[in-house]
């Protein structure tokens, strides 16, 4: 896809395109309204600027667009419309042994109960063991700290998805 194609999409198609990158409606609307972009680098810069204007409710909306790491059923359901852009994001879990998968599932559940949102990490390029160590290192953080970390991870994920558009 070219930047020109993105710039000339009708609003509905552009909304759907950006929603596949991040499900925070405030961010999506801002991206649609910010067109035209001169190039992909500008689009990513603008994306980061819009992220800085998001509030907790927007982040939670974005997090809700992700499946729990390692939850195969959740992956299939939530990523069915974003398969192309999200492909490979959790590929490290596909090679995990059962012990890692079950431990990850338990920690994911504890994390969500504690914080009120799922564990968010930019999983691209990370093995299941690496993701397990990351959740272990973050599980005792307070909710405010985790919201900040998760929002930074969400920005990384969105950047990768925007880059896949080119």
CA 79 to mean position of chain CA atoms: 11
**What is the C-alpha to C-alpha distance for residues 47 and 3, in angstroms, rounded to an integer?**
14
Taking Cα atoms as reference points, which of 122, 119, 131 lies closest to residue 93?
131
Q: Give the least confident one: 6-15, 65-74, 85-94.
A: 85-94
User: CB neighbours of 22 closer than 8 A, spacing ≥ 6?
Assistant: 28, 62, 65, 154, 157, 158, 161
Q: What is the pLDDT at residue 75?
A: 40
**What is the C-alpha to C-alpha distance for residues 125 and 27, in angstroms, rounded to an integer?**
26
Tell me if 123 sits within 8 A of 89, measured CB to CB: yes
Task: Compare 79 and 47 and report the one with higher pLDDT.
Answer: 47
pTM of the predicted model, to two decimals?
A: 0.82
Distance (Å) of CA 166 to CA 3, 5, 24, 85, 87: 7, 10, 21, 11, 15
pLDDT tens-digit series, residues 24-75 = 999 999 999 999 999 999 999 999 999 999 999 999 999 999 877 765 454 4
66 catalytic per annotation? yes
Q: Which residue is catalytic, options 8, 15, 50, 66?
A: 66
Q: Where in the chain is the domain with CATH 1.10.3330.10?
A: 67-152
As its CATH architecture, domain 67-152 has Orthogonal Bundle (1.10)
Q: What is the pLDDT at residue 70?
A: 61
Mean pLDDT score across all residues of the chain: 87
Confidence of residue 95 (pLDDT cuts 50, 70, 90): low
């Amino acid at each position: 896809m070219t930047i020109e194609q993105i710039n000339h999409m009708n609003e509905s198609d552009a909304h759907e395109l950006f929603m596949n990158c991040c499900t925070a409606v405030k961010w999506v609307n801002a991206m649609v309204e910010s067109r035209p972009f001169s190039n992909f680098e500008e689009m990513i810069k603008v994306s980061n600027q819009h992220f800085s204007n998001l509030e907790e409710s927007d982040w939670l909306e974005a997090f809700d667009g992700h499946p729990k790491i390692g939850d195969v059923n959740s992956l299939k359901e939530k990523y069915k419309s974003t398969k192309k852009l999200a492909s490979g994001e959790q590929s490290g879990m596909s090679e995990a042994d059962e012990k890692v998968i079950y431990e990850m599932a338990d920690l994911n559940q504890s994390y969500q109960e504690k914080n009120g949102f799922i564990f968010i990490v930019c999983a691209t390029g990370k093995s299941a063991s690496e993701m397990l160590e990351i959740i272990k290192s973050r599980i005792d953080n307070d909710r405010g700290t985790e919201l900040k970390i998760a929002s930074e991870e969400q920005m990384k994920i969105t950047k990768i998805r925007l880059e896949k558009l080119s």
